Structure 1
């Protein structure tokens, strides 16, 4: 049992696990902020421009019964497809995706990737076509070539 607890402690206190946990907590908080941004700030003006409608109240009754609002339909037990909530969630996703794109773009700008030097490919000394490093015969002109010779 001691070995198990020690193994769990070593796993839980590794840097990657803690970084991941912090990322999940911050992501959850960011998700709540974005949800509020969409439902409280972005969608009301859009709804007003479109005639004072509330997107979160859009639904389709599956059994044909009529209800004036989504809350009324749910209270009456009417099965519904609440596509207005889906629209809000879709807009929230787009905002989160855009925010992540901006963050990644800035991180990539601050920490550019180091390009590894690319070795010139080995070429046949006769036809100048690329050949495998361990080839003894050129697949293009069929000339016999030395395996250790590297010509440019």
Structure 2
């Protein structure tokens, strides 16, 4: 597996190869296993007896580290909404200004979740809609 994201070809219509490398640090995988074990413990609480059925995944027969690691790797899905890769600002790490213009490249703006400087405490959809509305205003003026 490749590390990081990279172009898949020279054409502008060629989709990039994206690899967020979620488990690039073993600590992340270990944390997921710990969380899975904790979720199982909560699910076995006697207060949940009236509603509990059989564990669907990974299943009650799988409890060794190697098996749980394989399960976690196989079932990884991201619900997170990455932000900040082209964050707004005026410092050296910022990619776009407050008018969504890319620093140093005339005629190019970025208007998506990547300009959000840090992860909002709510779902990013509303924030992205606000950014899109702001971009529409900027382009209309």
Higher Rg of the two aligned structures = 1
> What TM-score does the superposition give when structure 1 sets the normalisation length?
0.27
Structure with greater helix percent? 1
> What TM-score does the superposition give when structure 2 sets the normalisation length?
0.29
